[in-house]
Structure 1
Amino acid sequence: MTSEYSAHHLQVLEGLEAVRKRPGMYIGSTDSRGLMHCVWEIIDNAVDEALAGNGSRIDVVLHEDGSVEIRDTGRGIPVDIEPRTGLSGVEVVFTKLHAGGKFGGGSYAASGGLHGVGASVVNALSERLDVEVDRGGKTWAMSFHRGEPGVFADSGAPSPDAPFRPFKDRSELRVIGKAPRGVTGTRIRYWADRQIFTKDAVFQREELATRARQTAFLVPGLEITVRDERGTEVDETSFRFDGGISEFAEFLATDSAVTDTWRLTGSGTFTETVPVLQANGAMVPTELERECQVDIAVRWGTGYDTVTRSFVNIISTPKGGTHQQGFEQELLKVLRGQVEQNARRLKVGGAGAPKLEKDDVMAGLTAVLTVRLPEPQFEGQTKEVLGTPAVRQIVTQVVRKELTARFASPKRDDKAQTALLLDKVVAEMKARISARAHKETQRRKNALESSSLPAKLVDCRSSEVEQSELFIVEGNSALGTAKDARNSEYQALLPIRGKILNVQKSSVSDMLSNAECASIIQVIGAGSGRTFDLSAARYGKVIIMSDADVDGAHIRTLLLTLFFRYMRPLIEAGRVFAAVPPLHRVIVVNPGSKPNETVYTYSEQELHALLTKLTKAGKRWQEPVQRYKGLGEMDADQLAETTMDRAGRLLRRVRLEDAEAAGSVFELLMGNEVAPRRDFIVDSSDRLSRESIDA
């Protein structure tokens, strides 16, 4: 380091050098997230073609050698010479930053690509990139090595390790074949540069499939296929939806419906001053009139979770922006006005009456918000936040007009659904106020007041939350044994009577009025739903201890449904477990005075394997082998040793790796719709072994 600092210390990074030096500025990071962002850049270019009405199919292939290939049936990248640079359109697109057809030239009315850096950034961060274009009856091709055009001397399959010869005097866009008449499209295959990306960065097929599904929802009629050739078996999935964002909202929703899926559509215009490139190369500020199209699908359900997805020209904006601000602001305003108009029926209002808040309106809402406009202003290349100010007012006007019309509709269905919606948001408001008042009351309680915990709770002595465990026990017979088997210092017991309410089918009020559900929520002590406070939970672990039979599995599923819907943070924190009691007890007879040995097994396969092993070793066992039908058949020592004692027990942690997938499974297996559940049972029947049925 030196204190001298002058102009010769400055560096000027030319062209793609800047991308390789500071990749995070362009793709966010150099881990798996950045790797996937490169894929999105190429896919989004193909989708922009489909949005413009060119092409109806996109294929994404994850090759075995680590490369990715994206094929589309659009117009194909221009292959003629760009006059200012003297280079072919293909080379300009892949080697020049801020070069493209989306700067207001009329090629795209609304597109996701805006800055002209997507394809060139991917090229700069690739060890090798090959592009083929079908256009004008010919197939054109070009290759690049870390952004530099040239030719690879492939001896077999294309590889980034093949000898590379860069072009010296002039680049060449090669013609490698003929394209059928009228056929156009682009094929891009690239190998990410491992000098740039971290060692653990990988292409994630599930994330790719999720994004492909999402895009197919947003562009009705577009078919997107994801093919993964990296495993032992090829995995291929195709997506095509003609119902648009209404179908998307129904797919995202996991609870029972309070309203149908409503479409709020409209458009508006605004003016903005932007620099426009003139023929002489000068940039002249010009005032342009823009049109913004708004299309929103909304649906309220019985749950309290909010699922919103917002998009600008099919580009996801996970951090929102002006369009989402306008939507949420006007949604609250319209519903506040409707509640005031129906104050008498809803039994709200009067001096000092509470008002709806944003959380009350958003509870149970599933919304897909899309806007389309030319040249939107994003914050950064990753396009996570929309910044165009005028969009907020246009979205606000559309939501106000469409929602107000829905509430004023004379149709019987609309009247019934809007009434149910107002009942729901008012119930959410009252629940919020009640929860706040309850919390304040709890704060004011002094230490001498008696606990209001259920009498049937057999609590532990320890007050250390991290060490304590709550066992939810099936039936009184098991409770009696568990009392003797537990360590009363840190293990608490709560018995439940048989099968609790299926909360996936029931309303919140039904759940709270159910004695068993209310007891569980009360004992855990952290509330439920939106007001659930994980830090207030009284136990470090919640362990479901049910019999190892079909009824026990059903009870465990019902309890997990309760936790999933109303105490999900407990599962997300990894604090819900299922006890694993043994199925069999085998007493191995030892010769002479040596004491007999007791072995527990947890499945039929494990039992047969044990008996086979004993037979080979010439050992005998007591007949019959004890088969536990329920926890009540064990004595306290056996239950402690196998299921409750920390030294020898086996617990299965309940995980929530994918909330959306879990939600759809719970709705399928525990929800109101019978037909999909019947189809699932019929389709899955061949997976079940008759021998495993306890009949």
Structure 2
Amino acid sequence: MNEEAIRYDATHIQVLEGREAIRKRPGMYVGSTGERGLHHMVFEVVGRAVNEVLAGRARAVGIVLTSDGGVRVSDDGPGIAFETDADAEGPGLEALLTRLQAGAQPGGRHDVAMTTFGGGLCVTNALSSRLTAEVRREGVRLVQEYARGVPLTAPTAAGPVTGSGTTITFLPDAEIFETVECSFDTLARRFRELAYVYGDLDISLSDERSPGGSRSERFRYPGGPRDLVAFLGARAGAPVHPDVLAFATEDPRMEGTVEAALQWYGSRQERVQGFANSLTTPEGGTHTAGLRDGVAGAINAYARERRHLTAVDPDLGADRISEGLTAVVSVKLDHLEFEGATRGRLGGDAVRTCVAEAVREHLGSWLDGHPDQAAAVIGRILQGTRED
């Protein structure tokens, strides 16, 4: 092999940016070219619309799986101007569709990050064979067409319109993805979780692909985590006590808020779900550990105060206390800290301390104020201890 053949210098480096980089390495931006990546495309678009609702600029978000295999995401906000103007809080729609968003970290507590990649609308646009952006704003409807991330036209007026909002319709690119058929159930599961975490959300999902007729579901849970505990508990047997304990509080030490809900059921299985901002944490972390710490602390303190435990009795074990417990803990933080690259486990020592103290305080007050229900909970735990 001669010197020319093995020489490698800066002239051999290929620099890809924007849509070219996304299409060359799609897995880096949506996780995979399988069903997971396909759904991430949907979540990137839905996340922008959901933030419009949480910011108070829109009331609802609608997602439609269209009969031609596309996805249509609409909101009823003021409509994002195609071009950035002086009054805009962020970039215009055309910039969002053609420029990668800086960084892939989830936003702060006031922003919804539906994916852990965070590339934004540009990623969905680049990985779609066709995309149509429609803005209804100030009585005018403007439309712009794209093909694989490249604009085919400038934003074009398409006549007058009543109402306002933004609609993004796209066809996932079959040259990129192994499948271009979204799963209604997978999308519904994520939207349901999001609506439970953010009680102000109103999301609807419709499927027009079935020849037997459309399928639709609406996700709106004003009770937030309280409603999620009731939903999870429906499969956990009869409740030990009728009320779901729920609370929300802010703690500057962790620069965020904690919202939790819990109830004991007849099943011996523990069901605890954790959320960090809008992301699920399937591996748990400091927020779920703090919840368990707080529950154990409150139960043991109450049991000793009411002399269910003597001075020489050991504390009731956390495993025993959590049997039959169904709980949801959601933290919304200004600065998220995850353990590991997959971001499935929340970190941050302050989070564990703050959540534990909040749970212990509120559960302790609830036990004191509801003696009959407290007796049922303690009795359930002590009975299980004796059976062992």
TM-score category (smaller protein): 0.7 to 0.9
Residue pair 2:53, 2:77 contacting (<8 A) in 1 also: yes
Partner of 1:345: 308
Aligned residue number for residue 62 of structure 1:
65
1:239 maps to 2:241: no
Q: Which has the larger radius of gyration?
A: 1
Give the superposition deviation at 1:385.
3.9
**Contact 1:111–1:374 (8 Å) recurs in 2:** no
Aligned pair partner of 1:300 in 248, 264, 273? 264
Selected match of 1:265 from 232, 241, 248: 248
1:96–1:377 CA distance, 2 compared to 1 (3 A): farther
**Alpha-carbon deviation of 1:23?**
2.5
Q: How does 1:139-178 map to 2 (within 5 A)?
A: 139-151=141-153, 172-178=154-160
Q: Is the 8 Å Cα contact of residues 264 and 403 (structure 1) preserved in structure 2?
A: no
The more displaced of 364-373 and 309-318 is 309-318
Q: 1:422 aligns with which of 378, 385, 388?
A: 378
Cα pair distance change 1:122/1:257, threshold 3 Å: same
Are the aligned partners of 1:61 and 1:70 in contact in 2 as well (CA < 8 Å)? yes
* Contact kept? 2:66, 2:72, Cα under 8 Å: yes
1:54 alignment partner, SS class: coil
Structure 1 position 18, deviation (Å):
2.9
Distance 2:67 2:340 in 1: 33
- Seen in structure 2, the aligned counterparts of structure 1 residues 174 and 321 have a Cα distance that, compared at 3 Å, is farther
Q: Letter of the 1:264 partner, please give it.
A: F
Q: Give the alignment partner of residue 279 of structure 2, picking from 291, 298, 315.
A: 315
Q: CA deviation at 1:318?
A: 2.6
Deviation of the 1:36 alpha carbon:
1.6
Match of 2:299 in 1: 335
SS of aligned partner of 1:225: strand
Question: Comparing both chains, which one has the higher relative contact order based on Cα–Cα distances under 8 Å and sequence gaps of 6 or more?
Answer: 2
Structure 1 match to 2:16: 13
Q: Percent identity?
A: 34
> Matches of 1:193 and 1:380 in 2, distance apart?
31
Q: Assess if the C-alpha contact under 8 Å between 2:245 and 2:363 holds in 1.
A: no
Residue 77 of structure 1: CA displacement? 2.5
User: What CA deviation, in whole Å up to 9, does each residue of 1:357-407 have, x standing for no partner?
Assistant: 433232211112222234534578976444455433332232122122223
C-alpha displacement of 1:8: 3.8
Aligned to 1:112: 112
> Residue in 2 aligned with 1:542?
none
- Residue-by-residue CA offset, 1:548-592 (whole Å, 9 max, x unaligned): xxxxxxxxxxxxxxxxxxxxxxxxxxxxxxxxxxxxxxxxxxxxx
Please tell me whether the aligned partners of residues 44 and 119 of structure 2 are also in contact (alpha carbons under 8 angstroms).
no
Aligned to 2:79: 76
Q: Answer yes or no: is the 8 Å Cα contact 1:27–1:37 preserved in 2.
A: yes
Q: Is the 8 A contact 2:131 2:145 kept in 1?
A: yes
**How far, CA to CA, are the matches of 1:324 and 1:141 in structure 2?**
46
In the TM superposition, residue 78 of structure 1 has moved relative to its aligned partner by 3.6
Q: CA deviation at 1:88?
A: 6.9
The answer as to whether partners of 2:136 and 2:161 remain within 8 angstroms in 1 is: yes
Can you list the C-alpha shifts for 1:279-328, whole angstroms capped at 9, x where unaligned? xxxxxxxxxxx4x1221111111111222222233333333333223222
Q: 1:177 to 1:329 in 2, by over 3 A?
A: farther
2:29/2:117 contact within 8 Å kept:
no
* C-alpha distance in 2 between matches for 1:389 and 1:132: 45
Indicate conservation of the 8 Å contact 1:110/1:375, yes or no.
Answer: no
Aligned partners of 1:320 and 1:384 also within 8 Å? yes
Cα pair 2:54 2:201 within 8 Å, conserved: no
Instruction: Tell me the equivalent position of 1:228.
Output: 207
What is the aligned partner in structure 2 of residue 402 from structure 1?
Answer: 362
SS, match of residue 203 in structure 1: coil
User: 3-state DSSP class of the match of 1:345?
Assistant: coil
Partners in 1 of 2:357 and 2:286 — Cα distance?
13
Q: TM-score, normalised by structure 2?
A: 0.84
Residue aligning to 1:552? none
Contact 1:141 1:176 in 2 (8 A): yes
Q: 1-side partners of 2:347 and 2:175: how far apart?
A: 34
- Equivalent position of 2:186 in the other structure: 207
Alignment-mate amino acid for residue 345 of structure 1: H
- Number of residue pairs aligned between Structure 1 and Structure 2: 375
Cα distance 1:133–1:361, how it changes in 2: closer, same or farther (>3 A)? Answer: farther
Partner residue of 1:129? 131
In structure 2, distance between residues paired with 1:421 and 1:94: 53
Preserved contact between residue 30 and residue 117 of structure 2 (Cα < 8 Å): no
Deviation of the 1:63 alpha carbon:
0.9
Change (3 A) 1:173 1:428: farther
- Equivalent residue in structure 2 for 1:26, among 15, 25, 29: 29
| In structure 2, C-alpha distance between the alignment counterparts of 1:50 and 1:393, rounded to whole Å | 32
Query: 2:210 aligns to what SS in structure 1?
Result: coil
Partners of 1:48 and 1:206 in 2: CA distance:
23
SS at match of 2:302: helix
Q: Secondary structure at the match of 1:93?
A: helix
Per-residue deviation, residues 153-209 of structure 1 (Å, max 9, x unmatched): xxxxxxxxxxxxxxxxxxx333323333xx33111111111222114x531112223
In the other structure, the counterpart of 2:289 is: 325
CA 1:359–1:40: 2 relative to 1, 3 Å:
farther
Between the aligned partners of 1:257 and 1:103, the Cα distance in structure 2 is 36
Q: State the secondary structure of the residue aligned to 1:59.
A: strand
Aligned equivalents of 1:400, 1:310: Cα separation in 2? 17
Distance 1:295 1:95, change over 3 A: same
Q: Secondary structure at the match of 2:308?
A: helix
**Contact 1:56–1:223, Cα closer than 8 Å, also in 2:** yes
| CA pair 219-62 structure 1, distance change in 2 beyond 3 A | same
- Using the TM superposition, give the Cα deviation of residue 221 of structure 1 relative to its aligned residue in structure 2, in angstroms: 5.1
Q: Deviations over 1:110-165 (max 9, x none)?
A: 011397522222222212221112223322222222222224xxxxxxxxxxxxxx
**Corresponding position of 1:605:** none
Taking the aligned partners of 2:315 and 2:297, their CA distance within structure 1 comes to 11
CA distance in 1 between partners of 2:41 and 2:268 (Å) = 35
SS at match of 1:295: strand
1:196 matched residue in structure 2: 176
Alpha carbons 1:49, 1:75 under 8 Å: kept:
no
Q: Deviations over 1:522-541 (max 9, x none)?
A: xxxxxxxxxxxxxxxxxxxx
Could you say if the C-alpha distance between residues 4 and 430 of structure 1 is closer, same or farther in structure 2, counting changes exceeding 3 Å?
Answer: farther
